[in-house]
Amino acid sequence: MQHSPDLRALDATQELSQLTEAATSLGQETVDISGFLQELDDRCHGQLKDLADIGHRTTQLSESSARMLTAAQNMAGLADDALTRVRESADIIKETGQSSQALAEWVRSVNADSQSVEEMLMGVKNSNMLISDIAWQVHILAVNAKIEAARAGQAGKGFSIVADSVQDLSKKTADAAETITKTVSRLSEWMGELHRGAHVTATKAEDVITRNTENDQALSQIQYGIEQLREESHRLSQDAGEVRDSVMTTGQSVSDISDSVTSVAQGVDEATRRCFSLIDTSEEILQHSVALGGSGGDSAMITLVQDLAGRIIQAFEAEIDSGRISLDGMFSETYRPVPGSNPEQVVTPFTEVTDRLLPAIQEPVLDSDPRVVFCAAVDRNGYLPTHNAKFSQPQGPDPVWNAANCRNRRIFNDRVGLKAGRNEKPFLLQVYRRDMGGGTFVMMKDLSAPITLRGRHWGGLRLAYKFE
């Protein structure tokens, strides 16, 4: 059965409407996938950054562990040398101690013997004094005998000769006794000094023996400590070697993971690029279907944004015609930062014009449909001079609050913002995810229409609204 031209036209319109809805749905799904890929891409790049930092730190740790291993090995070597030297010193001190002890024993024996010698000398001195006394008595007797022999005359002459001999012997004996006494006195004095010196030396020898004993004990403790240090040094050297091997293994693992994540990130980047291309394609399909007469749920919004863009064009051109601003002033790209703003806000020669003209055109749209989130004009660089009143609050000290509530006089050069500002086709319908904070996103539509002044493309009017 043949359909009439009117029915065929109706069928075509329905097909175009379905195509429009399908293109919109495709864009929504693609944007959702793109958002997921973007999150994954951000995570991959974040992980790559973390891995790069870990790799850097692992390299530093590897270098540190290598230095630690070298230091531990050197310390172990020094401990070995120290232990050898301590043992050699211990042997020397032990020998010295034995010699000192033998010397001390000898000094003590000398001290004891000197006292005995001194006592014997005293005995000799006493005996010599007796001999001297006897010799003196003999001398007296000899003198008396000579006197008696002289009285006896010729008869005592022989006895006188004997008395002379006895007297001479007694004198010699007395002289010898005196010499012995002097010698014994000197020996006694020398032995006394020797005894006193030996006593002092013996006392010091006792100290030497005591100190040698203490030195032996201290050296034994030092040797024990050095032996413990040596054992710990070798154990530390072994542990340091194991740490170095573990760090090197970890570094290789980190490098392998980094290569893997890099590969994933490259794949995600490629998938994201293809998603953006698919988004562009879905937008072009939507543009063409609407141009061919397809009517979707966005038709009324398209008409609205085009009408509003036309009103803005008329208002801007009236300003130029009146001379209140030049055409070059309206197209100025001199963005002067607002001092102290955070996030940064900027003004241009035409900011005063937009602040004066745009609120009357943009504000009523927010009350016309509950789906509308904002309506604002941007230049070709994404600069949004005059936002809706609810997004144009004075900035405060909190940058996060400012970013959400002070969005006027900001440059939004993201993909959606730049495409809206640079689109020169009758309209552009984009689907994007709006970040609501806390990891929550809302699917939005960004519908824009171009703004041209004197045949030059100035920017576009953005109308953002929620899905039904």
Q: Output the DSSP codes for 396-431.
A: -S-HHHHHHHB-TTEE--SHHHHHHHH--SS-EEEE
Percent with pLDDT over 70 in the chain = 68
Average pLDDT of 15-21?
Answer: 60
**What confidence score (pLDDT) does residue 422 get?**
96
pLDDT tens for 143-169 read 777 787 777 777 666 767 777 777 677
> Chain-wide mean pLDDT for the chain?
79
413 token code pair: 């050069």
Query: In 3D, which of 293, 352, 288 has the Cα closest to residue 319?
Result: 352
Contact 324, 353 (CB under 8 A): yes
Would you say the CATH fold of 297-466 matches that of 64-250?
no
In the structure, what pLDDT confidence band is assigned to residue 289 with cuts at 50, 70 and 90?
low
Residue 26, pLDDT > 70, answer no
**What confidence score (pLDDT) does residue 364 get?**
97
Residue 353, pLDDT > 80, answer yes
Residue 103, pLDDT > 50, answer yes
**What confidence score (pLDDT) does residue 55 get?**
76
**What confidence score (pLDDT) does residue 17 get?**
62
Cis amide linkage into residue 343, ω under 30° from 0 = yes
Q: How far is CA 437 from CA 39, 421, 430, 448, 468, in A?
A: 14, 25, 21, 25, 21
Residue 7, pLDDT > 50, answer no
User: Which CATH fold would you assign to the domain 297-466?
Assistant: Beta-Lactamase (3.30.450)
Residue 193, pLDDT > 80, answer no
Residue 13, pLDDT > 70, answer no
pLDDT tens for 61-70 read 777 778 877 8
Average pLDDT of 296-311?
Answer: 89
**What confidence score (pLDDT) does residue 113 get?**
63
**Rounded Cα distance, 276 and 315, in Å:** 35
Q: In this structure, how many other beta carbons lie within 10 angstroms of the beta carbon of residue 393?
A: 15
Most confident of 204-208, 247-251, 387-391: 387-391
Query: In 3D, which of 104, 103, 19 has the Cα closest to residue 291?
Result: 19
111 token code pair: 């001290």
**What confidence score (pLDDT) does residue 287 get?**
65
Average pLDDT of 176-193?
Answer: 72
In the structure, what pLDDT confidence band is assigned to residue 198 with cuts at 50, 70 and 90?
low
pTM value > 0.85 = no
**What confidence score (pLDDT) does residue 373 get?**
95
User: Which CATH fold would you assign to the domain 64-250?
Assistant: Helix Hairpins (1.10.287)
Ranges of each domain in the chain: 64-250, 297-466
Residue 324, pLDDT > 90, answer yes
**What confidence score (pLDDT) does residue 395 get?**
96
pLDDT higher at 393 or 185: 393
Average pLDDT of 23-31?
Answer: 60
Contact 381, 413 (CB under 8 A): yes
Q: Which residue has 């890929």 as its token pair?
A: 37
In the structure, what pLDDT confidence band is assigned to residue 234 with cuts at 50, 70 and 90?
confident
Pairing of strands 383-384, 372-379: unpaired
In the structure, what pLDDT confidence band is assigned to residue 20 with cuts at 50, 70 and 90?
low
Phi, psi of 455 (to 5 degrees): 80, 0
**What confidence score (pLDDT) does residue 229 get?**
75
Residue 27, pLDDT > 70, answer no
**What confidence score (pLDDT) does residue 402 get?**
95
pLDDT tens for 127-147 read 667 676 776 776 777 677 778
Helix (H) or strand (E) holding 264: helix 157-291
**What confidence score (pLDDT) does residue 115 get?**
64
In b/e form, how buried is each residue of 93-115, taking b as 16+ CB within 10 angstroms?
beeebeebeeebeebbebbeebb
pLDDT higher at 323 or 224: 323
Average pLDDT of 328-352?
Answer: 97
In the structure, what pLDDT confidence band is assigned to residue 254 with cuts at 50, 70 and 90?
confident
**What confidence score (pLDDT) does residue 153 get?**
72
